[in-house]
Every structure is written in structure tokens, then in C-alpha cells.
Chains A and B, each alone.
Chain A
């Protein structure tokens, strides 16, 4: 049933966004990410997809509309691998482990908060539930299309029927020491291990039952999601800051064989080699000063550089509203200032994030056949003076700085945004982000 509904809305989206004629953007410097930058390049989009990318010599179909972008920079639509846009929440205070909870069910698809992403050049986001749980719930991958119902925004992974990952956390984030919450790190790990052992046994029971329905265990929503994790279909997005919490997260992923992306990774600079050896990708955040909570006391803007040096796949994220989606490029720039390569930093804003969400078959680079998601900049992506001028999603212009309505979303102001920022518990000691 859900599949049918999705199919219908897919058609709807196509018809709404498909251009009658191809559009060719000429004159810009294009960063395909998957290949070297093309100066004075051409990119042609049609029906929501990329028809061709190349040099000025690329033949442009006669019927195409030509848009001169001389002097501009074109990047793939940015991928934010960890966001809280959409005004949803995940698990509540009743449990520390919430595998059954879907952020999908809580998001306002018409939230104007998504305009922050678009005005920041972001076209794909991983919306995380939470925070403050060992397992906050199922995440959802969204495309910044114009939508009315949540299905309009869904972004399917390489695995059919999978539209998100699972949010987990360790360290001080979920240590509350009351109710169902752990009081220590060791207890946190033990609770996670117990849950996964239960899931392994659920899996065995289902396998043993085979065709015999009478032997099937009663259906368990949380266990169903964990089965997807054990099968490698659903990626675990694991909030982890300190070097030992990072190693614990890796240890758990090895024990149960689940795919993991480390998030935040404040002390990644201390265990970069170990992360590389474990072949675990990292989605990192730039925060302007260390501290703010115990587990972030040693955070360093050198983490991007150190992870790159060690050979780790690195992406950036906003954690919006921890940092603002409109400043996403800046996060990468500040890692470049600390010695991360420009190429790797651009990849970390786009293709690397797409890989970490299993959506790189559709987004993250400018390649023929991929979704026509891109953002047009006035200049160097890492200069403070550069503005994001346009953002396109599947061949449709979704943000245009020259349009006063869109411009308002890029600056904010009186009654511009109706949506609330995702800001937990500010002003208290018990922040759980």
C-alpha cells in the first residue's frame, strides 16, 4: 500500500517539476565532485535529471533554454548528513531505546524551515530524531522538493523501501541516570548489546519458523527495524564525541555487524588511525569553540584534516539548529583553514554525505543520469563574501536570491520564519543534543 502511494506521488513530483525543454547552464565553473572541475563548463538538465555535463564544447540541444552563468560556481546540491529540520521529534522520555519510533511520522512537510536548507545550498538531508537517547529512532532522508505530504519529500536509498537510518548515541548525551536511562557509559553499552542480542534471537526465530506461520514470533516494530540494521539495509548514525566513545561505537558495530556512520566525532583527531582501520565513515560538525558540554571539551577544527590524512571518508553536517543550514559552506571552509584539502572538503559537503546515506546513486555529484540537484554560487565556495544565488532540486528552481521572498529566507527578519528551530533544553545543564 505504501509502495503504491509512493509511486503515485513520484509521478506527481515528476510532472510538477519536469521541464518541457532541457535547460543548459553555460559559462560557470562546474565542480562535478566525481571528476575534476570544469571551467567555462556546461550542464544540461531535463526532466529532473542531469542530461549532460562537460566543457564549453558540449553540444547543446537546439530546443534547450540557455542560461548564462558566466563567473558563477556550480556545485552539486549539498547533502546534510545530520539535520533536525522539519520540526519533528523522535523518542520521548519513556525509553532510552526507541527502534520503533519514526521521525517520518512527526515531520511537517510544509515547514518553512526547509527554506534555510535551500538558501544554504542544501538539497538532501538526513533528518534525525532525538536527542538524548541511546537510540532515538529511525531517521529519514528527504529531498528539498516542494511538497505537501511527507511522501513528496522522501528520498529512497539504494535499497528499495529504505528511506532512512537509525539514530544512536553514546557518551554524556544519553546518560541521565533516571527512569529507563543509563547512568554510566558501561551501562549504556550493555543496554545496546542486550537489544541487539534480542534482535539476533528474533531473527533466528523468524528463520527457524520458515514457512510455518504458527512458529513466527509476534511482530515487533522495533525488532523489525533492527532486522533491517542487521541485514545491512539500514545504516546506524551514531552520535559520538570522545575518543573512547568513538571506539565503543565501533566495537558495537563490529560485534553485531551493523553499518555505522559516526556523527560529530569531536575527538576524531585523537583516533583518526583507528577509525581508518575500522573503515568507518565520519560525519563531522564545525563548532566555533570547544566545550559547552563535557564530551565536547576537546573538540578541534583539525578533525577534518586528521581524518582525511588517515584516509577516512569524511562528510560535514549542520545538526540544524545547532549550526544554521544557511552557513553550511562555512563549516567546510573552517576545516580547509585548518589544512583539510579543498577537494576533500567539497566532497565532504556533497558526495561523501550521499555515500553515508546510501543515496549516492542519485545525488552528491553532477553526473549524467543523476538528479538535477545543484546550487549556484557567486564565487569561491570557501570565501566569506560568496553568496548562494540559486538552488535547484530535480530541475526545479527552489531558491533564488534575486526573488525578494526567497531572499527574506536567506536573511531572516520580522515574521519571515514561522517554523521553530530545533533547540533542546537551552539554558539548562541537561542539554541532550
Chain B
């Protein structure tokens, strides 16, 4: 009987707690709009940010639960991941990020493979990541689609923000390692152009007012058409000077929105990048300098910031250990090589929010945005600092410093 009453009580309390009114007081609040607020407070109601300002200016209403921290940032956004398709154990069953039956498969939807219960997603959440742009990995000319999800626990419908965001393309030697053809860079580009030209023709036929003249539905052509219309962005993993230039050329020829992924040698093309209108998800700072990324420079993030080029950081794809990287660590290491703290924080908050088209909901601490917040016991980028609490949509989803 007691247990029954208890259960009832929990059932009653739970829905209330999800709509709990919460106040977070931070010694430093990095809102990501303007300079950080010293002694700031954030009010949360119904999963959204209700107010943010100095503690001196904002009265915490009665009934609010108060949390305190040394520093507060928006929930971190991982600009490009594969977790959820790529799993922790690295056995064939949990590696769903790259289909090797054919080098061009834009019809593969990340949604159909995303395991929202994957342990690496929970792991990233403990590291302050509240939103991930994830999906098919580099390794095929077109490996498939990507999606955007919150890292909170829940079923697909609860966690997905955008089920189909970009098409993941790869230029370079990685493709030739996975497929018998293309064996060369030029062949790879020719194969892509060939498919895109087919998609243009397909599009044209479908534009006919007489629907009887439409071609038979072709999933591949449908997906490529969405790239041509700009509904999908082309996320091109390209690292060497040759491949980065090919990416620019391809996007220009077919007029699709380009997002460069990796881009180890982007430091050679900052002017071209600025005039291209492309976006950039830079390789993890600590990515291994091997293969096409052999010439990566640990100072690239700082160089880009100095040139006024916005970029997002990413955990990226790892075939081995660590199975996922952590954007906070990658941003932190970029500061060791000259990136400012604010620019490092931008690279995993407001910049990826804009890049993913979610700046109205995410990426900064502003009234009306999702209450996705990370609380730290020190400088968010320092090695010795811990992520102490993580809120997603106003819910406390990680409470970590109690253990330490």
C-alpha cells in the first residue's frame, strides 16, 4: 500500500518537475551574445529560458529551485558526429555509419539507423553536449544523410530535431580505401558529377506540369534533388588542398549549399572560403595527423578566428580509440594553440547553432531559447574543470559533481 502511494506520488511529482521553475546562478555566465555576465542568473520555466541577467537586476521568484555554478554555458553542440550510428563497442553490429555496397548512396537516411539509446550519446551528454549533428560517416562519395538530435534520453520522436539535414560526401583517399572504384580523385569527381547531372534531368522531368510525364520515383534521385534545391546541404569531407578545391568547384557547378567537413588544409584557402559562401565544421583539434589530414595544423582554429571566419568544432568519426571525441576537449586544446576562450566557446555553441539553422532555439542563453545549459566548477575549457550539471529543455539530465 505504501509502495502504491509512493508510486502515485512519484507519478504526480514527475510531470511537475519537468515543468519545474529553476534558477541558475553562475559566477560567470557565457551567454554567447555580448560579453560574459559576472554574477549572472538564468530563470527557466517550461523548458525555456525565461530571463537572463545580473543577479542584481533579476529577482528570483518564490518557488524556484536554485542551482549554483562557477561557470555556465549554453548546452554544447557537436557540429559533426557519427554517434548513434557508430557505437561504443566497435563490433560489426554497432557500426552502422558506412555502407560499403556502393560509393554513392544519398538515399540512406540517418533516421533509419539512429540508436538513441547508444551509450556514446549518454557519454557525450555527461561531457556537456546537448545537441548533436550526426549520421553517416565520411568514407563514401556520398555515404548518406545526417540528422540533428538532442542527447536527452528518449524515443526517436522525442529527441530528433531535424531528421534529415545534410548529405555526407567525401573526397579523397578514404573513399578509395573503401571501394574498388573510384580509384582516383578525378574518377570520384566524375562519378559525382555524373549522378548530379542525372539528378538535374530527373528534376527537370518532375517539373513538368503533366505528372504522367514524371519519371518513376527513384530514391537516389530524390535525395540528390533535395541537394540541388538546397533543402539538403552538401557536407563535404575534404582535407587536402586538392580535395578542398574540388569541393568548392563541385558546389559551384551544381549550386548547392556547401558545408566543409574536416578541411585540414583550409589554412591555404581562407580567401576562397570567404567568397564561397560555404560553412565550416573544422576537424577535431586532436585529430590524428595522418592520411589526408597529415598536414593539419593545431593553430588553424586560431587562424580562422583571427580572419573572422566562423567555424564549428566536431567530434568527427573515429574508427578506433577514442570511439568518439568530445568537443569541449577539442575546443580547449585549440585555445592552447592560440584560440581565445570566447571563440572556443562559440565554436561549440552559437556557431554550430547558426550552421545547423537552429539559432532561434539553441546556441546562446537568451530569453525564449531552449533551456539547454551546462554548469561547470571552473573555466569551461580547463583540463581540471568538471561538467557538473547538464540541463536539457529545463530538465536536469546530468548531476555529476556529487560523485567527485
Contacts and interface: CB of A to CB of B under 8 A. Distances in A.
Interface of A: 287-294, 296-297, 321-322, 324, 326-327, 330, 333-334, 336-339, 382-387, 410-417, 420-421, 423, 426-429, 431, 433
Given A412-B296, A414-B268, A384 B123 contact: no
B382 A288 contact: no
Contacts of A327: 286, 333
A297 B329 contact: no
Nearest to A386: B336
A291 B120 contact: yes
22 contacts: A287-B321, A287-B322, A288-B286, A290-B323, A291-B89, A291-B90, A292-B318, A292-B320, A322-B320, A322-B321, A330-B333, A336-B384, A337-B383, A337-B386, A383-B383, A384-B383, A413-B296, A413-B299, A416-B297, A417-B294, A423-B290, A427-B174
Nearest to B268: A414
A292 B322 contact: yes
Contact of B119 (A291, A292, A421): A291
B92 interface: yes
A429 B383 contact: no
Contacts of B289: 324, 412, 417, 421
Contacts of B102: none
Interface in B138-158: 139
Contacts of A334: 383
Interface in B110-145: 119-120, 123, 139
Given A412-B298, A414-B265, A427-B177, A292 B321 contact: yes
A403 to B, nearest CB: 16
Interface of B: 87-92, 95, 119-120, 123, 139, 174, 177-178, 265, 267-268, 286, 288-290, 294-299, 318-326, 329, 332-333, 335-337, 381-386, 404
Contacts of A292: 88, 90, 318, 320-323
Contacts of B296: 412-413
Contacts of A385: 335-336, 382
Contact of B323 (A289, A326, A415): A289
Looking at chain B's contact residues, the main secondary structure is loop
A383 B386 CA distance: 13
Contact of B404 (A290, A339, A415, A421): A339
Contacts of B119: 290-291
Contacts of B383: 330, 333-334, 336-337, 382-384
Given A383-B382, A387-B336, A433 B320 contact: yes
A420 B321 CA distance: 18
Contacts, number: 136
Nearest to A321: B288
A217 B382 CA distance: 60
Interface pairs A-B: 5 shortest CB-CB = A291-B88, A292-B321, A333-B383, A292-B323, A413-B297
Contact of A412 (B178, B295, B404): B295
A336 B265 CA distance: 34
Given A330-B383, A333-B384, A414-B268, A421 B288 contact: yes
A84 to B, nearest CB: 12
Nearest to A327: B286
B321 A433 contact: yes
B329 A427 contact: no
Contacts of B91: 294, 429
Nearest to A331: B383
Contacts of B90: 291-294, 429, 431
Given A387-B336, A414-B295, A428-B319, A421 B290 contact: yes
A353 B7 CA distance: 55
A89 B164 CA distance: 44
A431 B322 CA distance: 13
Contacts of A321: 288, 290
Contact of A429 (B88, B92, B385): B92
A90 B89 CA distance: 27
B244 to A, nearest CB: 12
Given A287-B322, A289-B325, A337-B385, A412 B288 contact: no
A290 B288 contact: no
A288 B129 CA distance: 14
Contact of A384 (B95, B178, B319, B382): B382
B295 A290 contact: no
A290 B337 contact: no
A386 B296 CA distance: 21
Nearest to B174: A427
Nearest to B317: A427
Contacts of B177: 427
B336 A384 contact: yes
B189 to A, nearest CB: 22
Given A411-B299, A433-B320, A384 B326 contact: no
A2 to B, nearest CB: 34
B384 to A, nearest CB: 5
Contacts of A293: 89-90, 320-321
A90 B296 CA distance: 28
A427 B174 CA distance: 9
Contacts of B337: 411
A384 B331 CA distance: 10
Contacts of B178: 427
Most buried by B among A287, A416, A427: A427
B286 A324 contact: yes
A426 B288 CA distance: 11
A324 B322 contact: no
B297 A427 contact: no
A354 B286 CA distance: 27
A296 B321 CA distance: 9
Given A324-B286, A384-B383, A426 B294 contact: no
A414 B299 CA distance: 12
Nearest to A294: B89
A427 B97 CA distance: 11
Given A291-B89, A296-B321, A383-B383, 20 more contacts: A288-B322, A289-B321, A289-B322, A290-B119, A293-B320, A297-B89, A337-B386, A385-B336, A411-B297, A411-B337, A412-B295, A413-B295, A414-B297, A416-B297, A423-B288, A426-B319, A427-B139, A429-B91, A431-B320, A433-B320
A427 B323 CA distance: 11
Nearest to B265: A414
A89 to B, nearest CB: 15
Contacts of B318: 292
Given A289-B120, A290-B123, A417-B294, A384 B288 contact: no
Given A336-B384, A384-B381, A420 B89 contact: no
**Residue with the highest number of chain A CB atoms closer than 10 Å, among B289, B321, B382:** B321
Contact of B384 (A337, A412, A421, A433): A337
Nearest to A339: B404
Contacts of A428: 319
A412 B293 CA distance: 11
Contacts of A326: 298
Contacts of A289: 88, 120, 123, 321-326
A416 B295 contact: yes
Nearest to A337: B384
A427 B384 contact: no
Nearest to A432: B320
A414 B123 CA distance: 34
A288 B386 contact: no
B361 to A, nearest CB: 27
